[in-house]
Structure 1
């Protein structure tokens, strides 16, 4: 998350000068642990630092009225459609939190994070907008109050959010989730990934429900797969800390096979995973809810990323993104 460097203890008051506020966030993917995390095993969330959202919030007069400018909706905030209600909530909840409900603002959102692709679009937009609204008043939200505001928006978007997205879209390193504990994972080296979009929206809700139905029918077999995914998550955390890209790639490959066993992959996802592996990706797997959405591939470096990206597009990916975590050249 980036924003103006301001005093986090400042609070708005009638005499405080207002300014245009700006803030940014980024996308996220699940490195290891999707679906299994629902059953209590750990998960690793990967920030996609190079796919960004920027919010710009300008104070305006009551006569001008509050407005939203985005690719989904441009117009008055109070007549915005349901599709952007989480964004509206980001504005109103933050103003309420700051005791400035009467302030009118013009909100512009520029987002490169695609929707319905498991990359945390709604959380990323909420993170940027809430921080930018606070910045109008010279205020920097502390991490926990920021998280709670984003979660309020995520509840509007998703009902009962886990918090994975809200943490991932502001993190600079992978985030470990286990039993309610959230920890950043230190990196032993830089890691470069390619994210590829199948062009098919993910169907997280349906996929989660299908796994639950299967678990109800045959809990032992699903629990075995879930436990194996949890073991892979622990192994992956160690490879990140050790800087061992080859070993991390192997855990990603194994995770994809287990997710296929849970029947949450698809022909489109499998085709892109195969294309990445044929281009010598160190590892590749679906990421997110599955049955659409995106594939995540680990590569050796930027040049290799270009080759893998080209192979993925040739195999049908509608878009690819490259991101590096850890030390950058």
Structure 2
């Protein structure tokens, strides 16, 4: 058993297209955001207690607040596999805003599983770690597609279907993505439930979900053709569909309008909605910076990624 310090870094993600429809078996595209990451550090603890250290909580691991339930499942499962009484401290450093659609829960679940696997030399396969991560995501979100887990371990764009799994696309689009955090907490579980109610009550809404899947397929085609303008139009159509499910907010709408009036190819919410983040596809860095300046009253933070 290795009692040295173990560090595992995992990065966040954004869904480009296909949020919500991916839950119904449709395709989606997501991308890793390397600038947003969390490191899981494991050290031995001689105080006879397993401890969790985060920005928001410091205390016994398994009695952490309910929002850590998915993470507690990962920890408990891995400790049972290790068959050990050794006590450890697990520290999370780095910052990915929670409940924004940036994959924070998948990042820490995946990072924790990997770190414990290394620390206790369990030799679990990546598939086994992913299965544990995905179960944690089900606990966190009610019904998880698996796209977050697939993307937080990916190095490039992921074309994802929950029945067929992830496929990485190494092609660059040739555009700039502006990611804006509204500062409003999204709620994936609530958003998924809201969409499900509307989906089950109206065939029009079922058609909209089907359309989001079609738009994801078209996005992949246009991506491989390096056609960001066409993808921008898809973003705008997807935003209209997502807003029709009452997933948009006044702040999201204001960001969308500002971006559309100032040179963006297309803009949409990303993730569950009801808050969270907005992504804007821009022709270049200058346009992205200009939009960020103009939309500043409506967001808490932003990142720019070359894609």
Q: In structure 1, what is the Cα distance between the partners aligned to 2:124 and 2:265?
A: 39
Summarize deviations over 1:104-150 as a string: whole Å, max 9, x none.
11111014211111222111111112212223245665321120121
Q: In structure 2, what is the Cα distance between the partners aligned to 1:266 and 1:228?
A: 22
1:295 counterpart = 2:269: no
Q: 1:69 to 1:241 in 2, by over 3 A?
A: same
**Bigger CA drift: 73-82 or 142-151?**
73-82
Aligned to 2:89: 106
Q: 1:291 to 1:156 in 2, by over 3 A?
A: closer
Task: Check the 8 A contact 1:90/1:153 in 2, yes or no.
Answer: yes
Pairing partner for 1:276 from 251, 259, 269: 259
User: Alignment RMSD, CA only?
Assistant: 2.3
Q: In structure 2, what is the Cα distance between the partners aligned to 1:273 and 1:127?
A: 32
Local SS of the residue matching 1:119: coil
Aligned to 1:6: none
Q: 1:35 to 1:312 in 2, by over 3 A?
A: same
How many Å apart are 1:235 and its aligned residue?
0.7
Aligned to 2:178: 194
**Bigger CA drift: 208-217 or 255-264?**
208-217
Q: TM-score, normalised by structure 2?
A: 0.90
Q: TM-score, normalised by structure 1?
A: 0.84
Q: 1:222 to 1:50 in 2, by over 3 A?
A: same
How many Å apart are 1:277 and its aligned residue?
2.1
How many Å apart are 1:30 and its aligned residue?
1.8
Q: In structure 1, what is the Cα distance between the partners aligned to 2:149 and 2:162?
A: 17
Q: In structure 2, what is the Cα distance between the partners aligned to 1:38 and 1:139?
A: 32
Summarize deviations over 1:176-231 as a string: whole Å, max 9, x none.
23351123232432553222122222133333333333334321x11332222122
Task: Check the 8 A contact 1:185/1:237 in 2, yes or no.
Answer: no
Aligned to 1:225: 208
| Number of equivalences | 306
Q: In structure 1, what is the Cα distance between the partners aligned to 2:122 and 2:272?
A: 36
Q: In structure 2, what is the Cα distance between the partners aligned to 1:107 and 1:84?
A: 13
Task: Check the 8 A contact 1:196/1:319 in 2, yes or no.
Answer: yes
Note the residue ranges of structure 1 that are not aligned, 5 or more in a row: 1-15
Q: In structure 2, what is the Cα distance between the partners aligned to 1:150 and 1:293?
A: 22
Q: 1:60 to 1:218 in 2, by over 3 A?
A: closer
